[in-house]
Structure 1
Amino acid sequence: MNITYLVGDATTPSGEGPKIIAHITNDIGAWGRGFVTAISRRWREPEAAYREWYRSGKDFALGAVQIVQVGDGLWVANMVAQQGIRTTRGLRTATGLRQGDHSAPIRYDALAQCLRILAKDAIAHRASVHMPRIGVGLSGGTWERIEPLIIESMVNRQIAVTVYDLPSRR
């Protein structure tokens, strides 16, 4: 089994059966840029659940996963694998702005933990997993480091994974 790569929209996953749409969130409660905007256009539940989860502080930390049902046999996985967010002035974290720090906010160890948790949920729901190229956009990661984490945690456990790339704009 391998990762399937498709050109399309990860918010409209292809195939039959139960599906989980996975994406990365940050640990400071910010929601509003990147793939989350596509999620929010389709469903209000993942954003509302994420914001409530952040406010409550209950089990909200790097490496945590929140599964939100958005339809019959369809869930969104909010995976906390990004420490802070990059801004034009620097890296904004839970403890404040680190001016001039433009390092990547992705945390690969947290992502690996999220993917292991997600794999258990996918097995429990008998679901395939669908995602954009998580961690490479605003999170600043590299697919060369992320793809092996997906293979190890899911593909090697016989979980079908589809990664979506948006059509190129010409």
Structure 2
Amino acid sequence: MGSAIRYLRGDASSPQAKGPKVIAHVCNDLGGWGKGFVLALSKRWPEPEAAYRRWHRERAGNDFGLGAVQLVQVERDTWVANLVGQRGTRTGRSSGVPVRYPAIDTALDRLAAPMLELGASVHLPRIGCGLAGGRWELVEPLLHSRLVARGIAVTVYDHD
């Protein structure tokens, strides 16, 4: 296992790896799904969006909230990890960016155990840095401490 994050050009919704794979991305805490990377996921599989919306709708009886993780199997060896790491969505008169680094940190920490159990590699876009408005230099160390340091292979995809 490498101790560095691998960077590739391409689409994180189409992970380039053998063996079990988990595609991780950041969701908001409002139940909204419809902009950014999630559109690429929904084009390939209906399950992650349906599961996320159900998780949000039934949140009174589950763990939905900032820092929560939902793993959704989409193929025999592929899962999508919905990580709740964004407070709301960006609005015109935004009071700062929606990204929440502590929530992303918690979610990545919670993701580690199932990754190790599955023997899976993690594939993701630059989470929290698109519509959520985050800065990669603050997100990257979280990936290192929560996943890479535990021997989990992480690949980050930059879209052309």
1:4 paired to 2:6: yes
Q: Does 1:67 align with 2:60?
A: no
Using the TM superposition, give the Cα deviation of residue 101 of structure 1 relative to its aligned residue in structure 2, in angstroms. Answer: 2.8
User: Which runs of structure 2 are paired with 1:89-128 in the superposition (5 Å)?
Assistant: 100-128=93-121
- Root-mean-square deviation (CA, aligned residues, Å) is 0.7
Residue identity in the other structure for 1:27? D
Cα deviation digits, residues 83-106 of structure 1 (max 9, x gap): 000022xxxxxxxxxxx2341111
One-letter amino acid matched to 1:138: L
TM-score by length of 1: 0.90
1:83 corresponds to which residue?
A: 87
Matches within 5 A, 1:137-152: 137-152=130-145
Aligned to 2:24: 22
| Bigger Rg over Cα | 1
CA distance in 2, matches of 1:120, 1:161: 14
The alignment partner of 1:112 has SS state of: helix
Tell me if 1:130 matches 2:134.
Answer: no
Amino acid at match of 1:166: H
Q: Which segments of structure 1 move beyond 3 Å, counting only runs of 4 or more?
A: none
CA displacement at 1:119 relative to structure 2: 1.1
Distance, in Å, in 2 between the alignment partners of 1:8 and 1:101 is: 31
Instruction: Give the secondary-structure state (helix, strand or coil) at the position aligned to 1:11.
Output: coil
Tell me, in whole angstroms, the C-alpha distance in 1 between the residues paired with 2:17 and 2:71. 20
Gaps of 5+ in 2: none
Q: Aligned partner of 1:52: which letter?
A: R
Deviations 1:98-153 (A, max 9, x none): xx234111110000000001111110110000000001000110000000000000
Query: Are 1:35 and 2:37 an aligned pair?
Result: yes
Secondary structure (helix, strand or coil) at the match of 2:7 reads strand
Q: In structure 2, what is the equivalent of residue 165 of structure 1? A: 158
- For residues 48-92 of structure 1, give each alpha carbon's deviation from its aligned partner in whole angstroms, at most 9, with x where no partner exists: 00000000002111000000000011000000000000022xxxx
Structure 1 segments unaligned to the other structure (5+ residues): 89-99
Question: Aligned to 1:138, what secondary structure does the other structure show?
Answer: coil
Identity %: 55
